[in-house]
């Protein structure tokens, strides 16, 4: 089945303008900062939010077309894993999972059987009689998934499925979730603000910023060719905008860089990886064609490297080792030379 | 000081209770009749309040109707109104010459004042806001996502309400019902104004106490003690709500 979503929805002064599609067997991540409309998009697909114009179509069934058609959530065949999971606190784990089948008219006995099957599949049978308050976050995540899958939906929607977990649990639950959603035959759409989750779990990523889709593609495409500063920052790369002409990139805001693609003309974006940038105390002489001077404006440790923000034309972020930091004796406010090989700058059309 | 001020009358009431005569007074036909009538009318009022008040509380909490703020204010009015004024207002509305009552009397020969049903109406009017306000708080603190989750699992509005919403607000619902019932049981002003004070028909416990005060003080004290015991019982039933120093 294919979902096509082409609609505008407003929620308290915020406007979400969507035009995209989701297909079965594909895991799609909706990636965006807080307040970008990710959850509203998910709510619209689930039927919890009405659209103001346009329509949402599941297969050949119009489930929402403003202003007249709005199929309520209970008739949409969607399974939703909510942020914080929203397990019913007054019901046991087994009853939580049986709630969906019971709601759809399955007999009590059959609903309990379905609940047992789901618990077996997700390895949570021993939790059957516990209340949601008596299980851990990782377990709650599995119960929420089991509950969503128990109605055998065609679409599985997950709202920040890993956000409620602590860092340690997150790693193992992410691996589990990867297997579980890949085994699901229908459409999977999940919302996240964590690029890591999007990269590891999704086949396709939709980037949402301020209620509009700013980029769609595979995780690899996003990393190689980020279309916006937000994506570039998430991917940890420098994104440089400018006009290309005869192998030169005239950067918006000043500066000229040599680029390998001599045939590229007009408005382009260029990606420069922080690890491909060298920093020098004095003007370097060597093979690097692009050399420019700037001022250090920030130093931030990350894992085994240091991120150095340099104010220059163009401004860049470089990563260096602790040893290099000591050699360069860097501090905020210090002046520094930046160099990058032409081959390390990848320019492409917008 | 405040505690002493609040406690001394209660202690006095207990101290002044005519213990030897107590069983006789309590088992007198008048007292039993008043007790029976009080239980009947207060339970009926609580049931009425539940039927109309629970949906109202939900509507207020979810703010689905326009002018929710105004409606909430209107719901609270009977809470603040002197009960005797409520009684007069009810007479003007439902009395034989009243706005609605006149129509009902003229066309269907229905009268409410000075009947047992009148007692139920008066007590419901005064007590229902307690249920609505308490339960609205319960509905409000219940996050919408549970109802959303139930909807995506295939539950219709009715199933969501009875299987998710109500069980989750059960503590507030019980507290609201008990408060409402306690208020109904103690109702005096609106009842005597709207329904009068007829033994066996509209003379509930508080009215019986008032009547007894004019003839036999010990009877009034004994009947009062019964009502005090009920109040303490309510406090015990709701201890989770009022005896804790901190909300859990």
For B119-127, what is the mean pLDDT? 90
What's residue B175's pLDDT?
Answer: 87
pLDDT of A157 > 60? The answer is yes
pLDDT of B245 > 50? The answer is no
For A288-312, what is the mean pLDDT? 89
Question: Between chain A and chain B, how many beta carbons pairs sit less than 8 Å apart?
Answer: 62
pLDDT in tens, A38-92: 999 999 999 999 999 999 999 989 999 988 899 999 999 899 999 889 999 999 9
Neighbour count for residue B1 (Cβ, 10 Å): 5
* Residue B166 distance to chain A (closest CA, Å): 10
User: What are the backbone angles phi and psi of residue A67, rounded to the nearest 5°?
Assistant: -100, 0
| Residue A151 to residue A154: CA distance in whole angstroms | 9
| Residue B242 to residue B233: CA distance in whole angstroms | 13
pLDDT of B246 > 70? The answer is no
* Residue A312 distance to chain B (closest CA, Å): 48
E-only strand ranges, A221-323 = 238-245, 248-251, 256-258, 266-272, 277-280, 290-302, 305-311, 316-321
Closest chain A residue by Cα to residue B159: A103
Decide if B56 is inside a domain: yes
- From chain B residues 114-173, the ones with a CB under 8 A of any chain A CB are 143, 145-146, 148-156, 159, 163-164, 167-168, 170
pLDDT of A295 > 90? The answer is yes
- From chain A residues 124-163, the ones with a CB under 8 A of any chain B CB are 147-148, 151
What's residue B240's pLDDT?
Answer: 63
| Residue B130 to residue B179: CA distance in whole angstroms | 6
* Mean pLDDT score across all residues of chain B: 84
pLDDT of A178 > 60? The answer is yes
* Residue A97 distance to chain B (closest CA, Å): 9
| Residue A279 to residue A291: CA distance in whole angstroms | 10
Domain count for chain B, please give it.
1
Domains A2-231 and A236-349 belong to one CATH topology: no
CATH of residue B133: 1.10.3720.10
Which of the listed CATH numbers 3.40.50.1260, 3.40.630.10, 3.30.1490.390, 2.40.50.100 matches domain A236-349?
Answer: 2.40.50.100
Closest CA to A221 of A241, A200, A240, A204: A204
CA A231 from chain center: how many Å?
9
Please indicate whether, in this complex, the C-beta atoms of B154 and A100 are within 8 angstroms of each other.
yes
pLDDT of B120 > 50? The answer is yes
User: Does residue B107 belong to the interface with chain A, where contact is any CB pair within 8 Å?
Assistant: no
Decide if B87 is inside a domain: yes
- Angle (CA) B245 B246 B248, round 5°: 135
Please report the ipTM that was assigned to this predicted complex.
0.80
Q: What are the residue boundaries of the structural domains of chain A, listed by start?
A: 2-231, 236-349
Whether CATH 3.40.50.300 fits A2-231: yes
Which domain covers residue B134, as residue numbers?
37-239
A151 contacts on B by Cβ (under 8 Å): 153-154
pLDDT of A291 > 60? The answer is yes
């Amino acid at each position: 089945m294919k979902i096509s979503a082409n609609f505008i929805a407003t929620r308290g002064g915020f406007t979400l303008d969507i035009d995209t599609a989701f297909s079965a067997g594909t895991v799609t991540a909706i990636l965006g900062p807080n307040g970008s409309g990710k959850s509203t998009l998910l709510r619209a697909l689930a039927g919890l939010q009405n659209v103001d114009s346009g329509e949402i179509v599941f297969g050949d069934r119009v489930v929402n077309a403003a202003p007249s058609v709005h199929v309520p959530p209970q008739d949409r065949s969607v399974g939703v894993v909510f942020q914080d999971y929203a397990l019913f606190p007054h019901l046991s784990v087994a009853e939580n999972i049986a709630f969906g089948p019971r709601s759809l008219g399955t007999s009590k006995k059959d609903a309990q059987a379905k609940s047992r099957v789901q618990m077996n599949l997700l390895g949570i049978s021993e939790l059957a009689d516990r209340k949601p308050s008596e299980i851990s976050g990782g377990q709650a995540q599995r119960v929420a998934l089991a509950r969503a899958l128990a109605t055998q939906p065609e679409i599985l929607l997950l709202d920040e499925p890993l956000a409620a977990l602590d860092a340690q649990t997150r790693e193992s639950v992410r691996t589990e979730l990867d297997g579980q959603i890949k085994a699901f035959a229908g459409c999977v759409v999940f919302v996240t603000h964590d690029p890591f989750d999007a990269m590891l779990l999704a086949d396709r990523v939709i980037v949402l910023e301020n209620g509009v889709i700013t980029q769609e593609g595979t995780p690899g495409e996003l990393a190689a060719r980020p279309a916006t500063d937000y994506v570039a920052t998430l991917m940890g790369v420098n994104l440089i905008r400018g006009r290309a002409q005869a192998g030169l990139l005239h950067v918006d805001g000043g500066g000229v860089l040599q680029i390998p693609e001599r045939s590229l003309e007009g408005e382009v974006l260029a990606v420069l990886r922080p690890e491909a940038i060298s920093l020098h105390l004095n003007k370097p002489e060597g093979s690097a064609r692009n050399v420019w001077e700037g001022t250090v404006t920030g130093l931030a440790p990350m894992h085994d490297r240091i991120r150095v923000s340099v104010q220059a034309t163009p401004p860049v972020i470089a990563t260096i080792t602790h040893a290099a930091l000591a050699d360069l004796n860097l501090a905020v406010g210090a002046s520094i030379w930046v160099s990058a090989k032409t081959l390390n700058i990848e320019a492409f059309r917008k | 000081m405040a505690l002493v001020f609040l406690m001394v009358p209660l202690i006095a009431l207990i101290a002044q209770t005519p213990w030897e005569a107590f069983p006789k007074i309590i088992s007198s036909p008048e007292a039993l009749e008043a007790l029976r009538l009080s239980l009947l009318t207060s339970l009926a009022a609580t049931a009425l309040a539940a039927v109309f008040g629970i949906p109202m509380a939900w509507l207020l909490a979810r703010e689905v109707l326009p002018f929710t703020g105004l409606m909430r204010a209107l719901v609270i009015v009977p809470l603040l109104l002197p009960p005797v004024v409520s009684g007069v207002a009810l007479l003007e509305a439902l009395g034989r010459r009243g706005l609605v009552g006149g129509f009902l009397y003229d066309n269907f020969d229905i009268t409410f004042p000075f009947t047992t049903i009148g007692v139920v109406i008066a007590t419901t009017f005064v007590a229902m806001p307690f249920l609505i306000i308490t339960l609205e708080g319960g509905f409000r603190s219940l996050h919408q996502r549970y109802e959303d989750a139930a909807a995506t699992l295939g539950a219709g509005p009715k199933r969501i309400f009875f299987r998710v919403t109500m069980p989750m607000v059960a503590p507030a619902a019980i507290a609201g019902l008990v408060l409402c019932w306690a208020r109904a049981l103690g109702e005096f002003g609106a009842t005597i104004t709207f329904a009068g004070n007829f033994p066996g028909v509209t003379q509930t416990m508080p009215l019986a106490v008032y009547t007894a005060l004019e003839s036999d003080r010990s009877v009034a004290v004994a009947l009062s003690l019964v009502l005090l015991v009920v109040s303490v019982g309510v406090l015990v039933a709701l201890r989770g709500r009022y005896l804790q120093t901190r909300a859990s």
